[in-house]
Structure 1
Amino acid sequence: MIVVCSDTHSRTGHELSEHMLKAVREADLVVHAGDFTTTAALSAFRAESDRLFAVHGNADDAEVREHLPSARTFDVGGVTTALTHRQHGGATALAMFGRSRGASLVVSGHTHRPSVTHADDVTLLNPGSHADPRGSRPGYAELVPGDNVVRGRLLDPGGTVVDSFEVRRGGDAGDS
């Protein structure tokens, strides 16, 4: 299982709820779409998961930016996944970013709003913010890789499933 989160915006730690902390500790991979804010928050995540794929966000301090790239691409169950904090231009720019990296799934943050958007051949996932929702509901995502498919769920930090989705290699997507 893969835990996906973003927009922690902490000066001191990971700000994970009890349920999320357990999920992070048990996850095969933790993906963070930026805005830890400080190295203390980044270090807190690293202390809970030795397999953290992360990018920096616009609110991260200079030290966090030195340690993390602005984008990265990786494989999840045969599905190419692109990770960034944001792209100016919204969903269209995120879809173009994903296509430029050969990705069927794009993970981003920034808006603090949990969402899944199917943009033709690319699925856009924003897990929301587990710690600083700014008027949106708090959230994170869990992904379960299969054979050329990823099944995903958007959850609240307490573990209640809010939405489910599926992404297949090559961009075929669907709601579960």
Structure 2
Amino acid sequence: MIAIFSDTHSSDGHELEGEALTAAREADVVIHAGDFTSEAALEAFQAECGPLYAVHGNADSAAVRERLPTARVVEAGGLRFAVTHRRDGGETGLAMFGRSRDADVVVFGHSHRPTAVETEDVLLLNPGSHADPRGNRPGFAVLEARADDAGGGLEGEIRDPDGTLLETFELPGAGADA
């Protein structure tokens, strides 16, 4: 399982609870699209999960910025994830960012709005904010191997921290037809 988070915005902890906390603890890989805000929040997140692949966001402290890159590529579940907090140019800018890194998925944050948008060649995934939704639904994302295993790939869900399903999407496996 791959768990995806963004926009924690905390001065002292990970702010994970319910199904969001369970997903972070049980995931094989955790991706975070930035804005932990404090080093304490980053360290609390790291203490709750296995491998954490994160980037820094615009609201992160200097200490967090020193520890995390602005962008990174993560390979997991047979897919390539390009991770950033935000990009100028909206969906087009994010898609270009993904294409330039040969990504299947672009994980981003900043808007606090959970959403999955399919473009011609990359999925744009914002898990939302599990802790500080700012007028949006709180959210995080989980990707798991497709149950039918017919063509490989992953099934994705954006969930509320209590586990309520908000949105579903599918990602073809490496080399599978879209």
Contact kept, 8 Å, 1:83 with 1:108, in 2: the verdict is yes
**Pair 1:167 & 2:167 matched:** no
Q: What displacement does 1:145 show? A: 3.9
How many pairs align?
173
Give the corresponding residue for 2:126: 126
* Helix, strand or coil at the partner of 1:43: helix
Matches of 1:149 and 1:33, distance apart in 2? 22
Structure 1 runs not aligned, ≥5 long: none
The 3 A distance-change label for structure 1 pair 158 and 170 is same
Contact kept, 8 Å, 1:77 with 1:148, in 2: the verdict is no
Structure 2 runs not aligned, ≥5 long: none
Q: What displacement does 1:26 show? A: 1.0
Matches of 1:18 and 1:78, distance apart in 2? 28
**Pair 1:149 & 2:153 matched:** yes
Q: What displacement does 1:172 show? A: 5.8
TM-score, normalized by length of structure 1? 0.93
Segments of 4+ moved more than 3 angstroms: 145-148, 169-173
More strand by share: 1
Q: Give percent identity, aligned residues only.
A: 58
Q: What displacement does 1:171 show? A: 8.8
* Helix, strand or coil at the partner of 1:124: strand
Give the corresponding residue for 2:18: 18
